[in-house]
Amino acid sequence: MLRSIPFSRKPGWWLTLRLKPLALSEWIEIDENFASQLQLKAELLRDRHDEMFAALPGSIAAQQEVLDLLIDHLLNYYPQHYQRQSGHLLNCATGEVWHLADFAEKPLDLAGRLVQEDWCVLLPQAGEHVLVAGSVCFPSRWRLQDKLGRSLLGVHAPVPGYAEKLARPVDTVFDRLRANHPSIRFNWSIVDTPDLCLMTAHGEAGVDPTIALENAGDKLWLRVERQTLRRLPQTNGILFGIRTSIAPLWQVKADRSMALQLADALEQMPVEGRAYKSLLPIQSVLLAYLRG
């Protein structure tokens, strides 16, 4: 995970998309946390399904398109992990067997169980892109139920500066995205918990008051989201994928160059951005630790 962290030190990076083309063969990544993250997803979907999965009426065609694209991709690029036999799909790494017919009314639910990625599906409605379905087990300070049915602008309303600086560029990217030409970007944050499922909203999350210079490496974690965008050619929707990784801050500190890049990025982040990411209470300790 640490090898791919893209800390930008360019002025104004906070309000840029930092979107890059992605080879179709690299759309899905499987890493060393594959089995453990899928197990955690299974537990969350068993115990809190309505919080992790939601869909609006009329979204099944787009959901099914996602599942079909995903299964085809996995069978093509990861045949050692997946096998399909007469109506069911086998995950060779976990031993799970999925009967496709069981998910006819919620195909995206199965798509979320097959890989580490969380999924959000947006469809064009009245000139906007609206979130119509999601399988999100590892949210980073947001709740799927709060976003369902909202446009991109509504989904990102809490993000400082989004409406003024990013709304139009994001809409343009979504309008121009071509089928079989996915894009990728990364997002990162510093959190005081290794938990992957964080539903407390940005700015509302309390910060561990015991964090200090001597324990910051063990009590803080770098959380990175590998975010992908892909056009759904049949339904004209957009599939937004989020694969989340997390590492203790001491691992970042072990790489001197990476630690300094993160410190520079933190210092360039505007105060409203640091407030949004709940970094203000720990910023002095964090910077001292990274530059130490």
Residue with tokens 């036999």: 85
Q: What is the average pLDDT across 256-263? A: 92
Q: Which residues pair with 50 in a beta bridge?
A: none
> Model pTM?
0.93
Please write down the long-range contacts of 82-88, taking CB distance under 8 Å and 24 or more positions apart.
82/114
- The CA distance from 192 to 134, in Å, is 26
- Above 90 in pLDDT, residue 149? yes
Query: For 88-129, how does the pLDDT look when each residue is reduced to its tens digit (9 = 90+)?
Result: 999 999 999 999 999 999 999 999 999 999 999 999 999 999
Q: Which residues contact 72 (CB under 8 A, 6 or more apart)?
A: none
Residue with tokens 């929707």: 237
What band does 80 get if pLDDT is binned at 50, 70 and 90? very high
Structure tokens belonging to residue 241: 């994928």
- Above 70 in pLDDT, residue 59? yes
Phi-psi region of 141 (alpha: psi -120 to 50; beta: other; left: phi over 0): left
Q: Are residues 190 and 222 in contact, defined by beta-carbon separation less than 8 angstroms? A: yes
Q: Which residue has the higher pLDDT, 17 or 188?
A: 188
- Above 60 in pLDDT, residue 141? yes
pLDDT of residue 9: 57
Q: Which of 272, 266, 268, 269 minimizes the C-alpha distance to 284?
A: 266
Average pLDDT, the chain: 92
Structure tokens belonging to residue 274: 């640091």
For the chain, give the percent of residues with pLDDT over 70: 93
Task: Give the domain ranges of the chain.
Answer: 2-291
Query: For 214-244, how does the pLDDT look when each residue is reduced to its tens digit (9 = 90+)?
Result: 999 999 999 999 999 999 999 999 999 999 9
Q: How are strands ordered across the β-sheet holding 221-232?
A: 20-21, 183-191, 221-232, 237-248, 118-125, 128-135, 53-55
For the chain, give the percent of residues with pLDDT over 90: 75
- The CA distance from 202 to 211, in Å, is 19
- Above 80 in pLDDT, residue 13? no
